Amino acid sequence: MKKAIFLDRDGVLNEVLSDRVKFVNMPEQLFLLEGAAEAVADLTKAGYEIFVVTNQGGVGLGFLKERELKRIHERLQVLVAEKGGHIKEVAYCPHKPKAGCECRKPNAGMLLDLAERYNLDLANSIMVGDHERDIEAGKKAGCKTVFIGSDPTKADIRAPSLFEAVGDILELLK
């Protein structure tokens, strides 16, 4: 079984609710956070499988089409690859926020599905997010957790950015 690093998208890898962009509904609205691609590159070079797990309720609410979301994720993968990183897969929940599905975080459905399909060792994997729902999903899946931001949380580790969390993530995975 392989160890994996699951990353939330908005607020961990890319800007959201910033001066440049409110929500990412088109590929050209995707702006990576400083150091995010380099962080993914460092984690990739360390030998870990990297997955993005993201709630994308805008699809269910009609703000964007799934084909546009796929183009956004393709751009994300290209921008990360340009710095030497590799995202194995981007999993997303397209359902409305209160749809009651198992895939929408704080539920662990996306992580459990990826673990089954890729033979991942969840107990020795990490979920990184910037909301309590990300941390809750990681814990429900049995992962260690890293919170990006300064809010109080029950995560194993807290860091101001993904780039600044790389050392702690690698230490947790030893």
Place of tokens 């993914």: 40
Res 94: pLDDT: 97
Q: Is 143 annotated as a binding residue?
A: no
Catalytic annotation present for 156? no
Cβ–Cβ under 8 Å, residues 33 and 128 = no
- Asked whether residue 93 is marked as a ligand-binding residue, the answer is yes
| Multiple choice CATH, 4-172, 3.20.20.70, 3.40.50.300, 3.40.50.1000, 2.170.190.11 | 3.40.50.1000
130 is in an annotated binding site: yes
- What residues have CB less than 8 Å from 164, skipping those under 6 apart? 35
Is 10 annotated as belonging to a binding site? yes
CB contact at 8 A, 95 and 60: yes
Asked if 8 is an active-site residue, the reply is yes
Q: CA angle, corner 119, sides to 116 and 125, nearest 5?
A: 95
Q: Tens digit of pLDDT for each residue in 103-137? A: 999 999 999 999 999 999 999 999 999 999 999 99
Band (67; pLDDT cuts 50, 70, 90): very high
Question: Residue 153 pLDDT > 90, yes or no?
Answer: no
pLDDT greater than 90 at residue 75: yes
Per-residue pLDDT at 137 = 98
SS3 of the chain: helix, strand, coil, percent, to 5: 40, 20, 45
Q: Tell me the average pLDDT of the chain.
A: 96
* Residue 149 C-alpha from the chain's centroid: 14
Percent of the chain exceeding pLDDT 70 equals: 100
- For residue 150, what pLDDT is reported? 86
Domain ranges (residues) in the chain: 4-172
As a whole-number percent, the residues of the chain with pLDDT over 90 amount to: 94
E-strand spans in the chain? 4-7, 49-55, 89-93, 126-129, 144-148, 157-159
Q: Which of 10, 42, 134, 156 is catalytic?
A: 10
